[in-house]
A = this chain, B = another copy of it.
Amino acid sequence: MCYIFLLNFCLFLMASTLHAQGLLDALSTGKTRVIDLTYPLNSKNAFWPGESYNSFKHEVLASLEKDGVYSGRYSTPEHLGTHMDAPAHFEPNQPTVDKIPLEDLVGLAVVIDVSLKASASGGDPDYRLKVEDITEWEKRHGTIPQRAIVLLYTGWGRRWADYGRYKNADENGALHFPGFSRESALFLSDTRQVKALGIDTLSVDYGLSGDFPVHHIFNSRGRWLLENLANLDKLPPTGATLIVAPIKIEGGSGGQARVWALIRE
């Protein structure tokens, strides 16, 4: 009897061992599923519509037909397409994009869905995440863990193919798209102590913002932000691990980032 119990216990532990195979190791066996949260870079990518900002430009330098090798060059604002805002973007004496170590670029993703309130028919394009939205989410999924990366799924990605509809400027040039609120950013940064935010719009601050409180709150605490994320509709509310790989521009305020979500199958 006791033998059987111990044998079963051993089998349980063996199963645990197999389950504990790392997310990276399990890539080769298909037990880790990957969702790429990065839009491909092309001339239609959305960018922050500031003065002297411009679209992504790619130019062919050599082609297989003419030169036997295919090679190109490109130019882009740092804050175009799927990208990171480094802590130095809005705050002095904070790390630039090249100074963030991998230890800080990997974390558990929490996805809060406000798409019905923000982008569905009858939704409010100026919607800002409320603290109550977060506490509602926590009732269903548990307290947001410290050092999580909180992603806001607004549904705005459905407009990605059309930069005009994506930035959604009115006749006075004011932008209309959803974002985090100041209060939600303070709650997430200081009460929940999350390490970073991400969103599927042009900015973690909503389009009408003039003072960018969400950027200041996170950047002043040495924390980074992700904007124009793809495929947030494909993520579970919890359980994904993000790998965030920003381009290593020396002294850069941010830059294009490759962002993957890894999910244990």
- A interface residues with partner B (beta carbon < 8 Å): 2-3, 6-7, 9-10, 13-14, 16-17, 20-25, 27-28, 34, 36, 38-42, 48, 50-54, 58, 61-62, 64, 68-79, 82, 88-92, 98, 101-103, 106, 147, 212, 241, 243, 245-256, 258, 260, 262
Q: How many angstroms from the CA of A71 to the CA of B88 in the assembled complex?
A: 9
Nearest B-chain residue to A215, judged by Cβ: B69
Q: How many angstroms from the CA of A7 to the CA of B10 in the assembled complex?
A: 9
Beyond A28-B147, A41-B247, A54-B73: 19 further Cβ-contacts under 8 Å? A10-B10, A17-B17, A24-B243, A28-B103, A40-B98, A40-B248, A42-B250, A50-B71, A51-B61, A58-B252, A70-B88, A70-B90, A71-B77, A73-B78, A74-B75, A82-B248, A102-B260, A246-B258, A258-B258
Q: Of B39, B69, B78, which one neighbours A71 at CB under 8 angstroms?
A: B78
The answer on a CB contact under 8 Å between A72 and B258 is: no
Q: How many angstroms from the CA of A251 to the CA of B51 in the assembled complex?
A: 28
Give this chain's copy count. 2
